[in-house]
Amino acid sequence: MIGILFLIIALGIGGKFYMDRKKVDDLYRHGFSLLEEQIATYIVEHYAGVSKVEFSPIYVDWSIDTIETVPVIYDQSGNRAILGGNIRSQNISFSGFGVPTGFYDLDFDYSGKHFIYLGASKDGGKIDVSTENRLPEEAKLSTSTRIDDNIDALIADGQLTAIYKQDGGSPNAEIVYNLEIIRGEVDDKWQ
């Protein structure tokens, strides 16, 4: 009898843990789908010569308090360059994309309802996208010094060639979104 009671309690605790984790993972996937769309849209609408924009899984690394994705740009020659991180030859370091940068807020309110605020919008300020499934027009970036400086540094470093800023950008560029969640550090493929 005690064994059955223990099993029921263990299943209840395990089920609660599973449901809580699923709720958090759904929040991350929803928020990052919008952030990835915001980044990719800016790149393909403002840069010519881009053949593909690809995203890493969502890395949740509580040892350094980050939740991030790694955007990767490919030029027409097949060169691959990672946004964010270090460019050693220029002694420059760029922040990642996610939490704590990229989102103004990504969390739950006191009633358990999630809220998602992207850190930048068309007018430059934070924007509430909690109820959106696709990136709304007002959340598209009209400028992004952060992305522009990073791409300029990658071009200067020779990691990308024949990419330049131009309105209209690369309308035929392939975009590969990734909403897989991995708990731990960003692996070598994405560094």
Q: What is the pLDDT of residues 137-158, one digit of tens each?
A: 999 999 999 999 999 999 999 9
Query: What average pLDDT does the chain have?
Result: 91
Domain count within the chain: 1
Distance CA 56, CA 184 (A): 13
Q: What is the pLDDT of residue 2?
A: 79
Distance CA 140, CA 123 (A): 9
How many residues would you count in the chain?
191
Distance CA 127, CA 122 (A): 9
Residue 43 in tokens: 């790149």
Residue 10 has pLDDT above 80, yes or no: no
Residue 118 has pLDDT above 90, yes or no: yes
Contact 50, 61 (CB under 8 A): no
- Residue 27 is part of which domain span? 2-190
**Number of CB atoms found within 10 A of residue 136's CB:** 15
Percent of the chain past pLDDT 70, that is, above it, reads 99
Contact 141, 42 (CB under 8 A): yes
pLDDT in tens, 61-116: 977 788 999 999 999 999 999 999 889 888 899 998 998 888 889 999 988 899 99
